[in-house]
């Protein structure tokens, strides 16, 4: 379950990094032109991401515009919860009794992929899904 939370966090961090780059590219445009439906309350773009753990395990994380997320592991098991940014990290808090997890993200590569590292040292590679 922690791996799913980690994947979600990595995805969110990548999304934050991508949003920062987009802002640099469109700095001349007024902020009012941004699409509010395309971002969560935390500022991370909503969307779906493929997450690959260091051991090769794959999962999918979807960040919703309302600040919620859904992680789906390779077997199809889904974990839902709340997403937020704290101290520059993307944090995922699953519904239920499980502890949340925060992730630090690297700058995205040309393809939009990035590396997320959890507070416990878990590492994952996050790639935005193609539309």
Grouped pLDDT means (10 residues each) for the chain, 131 residues: 48 44 42 34 70 96 93 96 87 89 90 92 94 72
Give the pLDDT score at 3: 53
Q: What is the pTM of this model?
A: 0.68
Q: Does domain 2-27+37-128 have CATH number 1.10.3470?
A: no
Contact predicate 104/116, CB 8 Å: yes
Q: Which tokens belong to 2?
A: 């922690």
Give the pLDDT score at 84: 84
**Run of H or E including 105:** strand 101-105
- Cα 88 to its chain centre, rounded Å, is 13
Contact predicate 92/9, CB 8 Å: yes
Half-sphere exposure of 73 (CA within 13 A, CB side): 12
Q: Which tokens belong to 119?
A: 């507070």
Domain definitions of the chain by residue range: 2-27+37-128
Give the pLDDT score at 38: 35
């Amino acid at each position: 379950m922690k791996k799913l939370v980690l994947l979600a966090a990595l995805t969110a961090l990548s999304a934050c990094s991508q949003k920062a780059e987009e802002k640099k590219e469109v700095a001349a445009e007024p902020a009012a032109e941004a699409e509010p439906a395309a971002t969560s309350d935390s500022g991370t773009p909503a969307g779906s991401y493929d997450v690959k753990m260091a051991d090769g395990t794959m999962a999918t994380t979807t960040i919703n515009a309302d600040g919620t997320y859904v992680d789906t592991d390779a077997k199809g098991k889904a974990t839902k919860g709340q997403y937020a940014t704290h101290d520059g990290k993307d944090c995922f808090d699953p519904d239920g009794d499980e502890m949340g997890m925060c992730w630090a993200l690297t700058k995205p590569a040309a393809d939009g992929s990035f590396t997320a590292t959890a507070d416990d040292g878990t590492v994952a590679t996050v790639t935005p899904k193609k539309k």
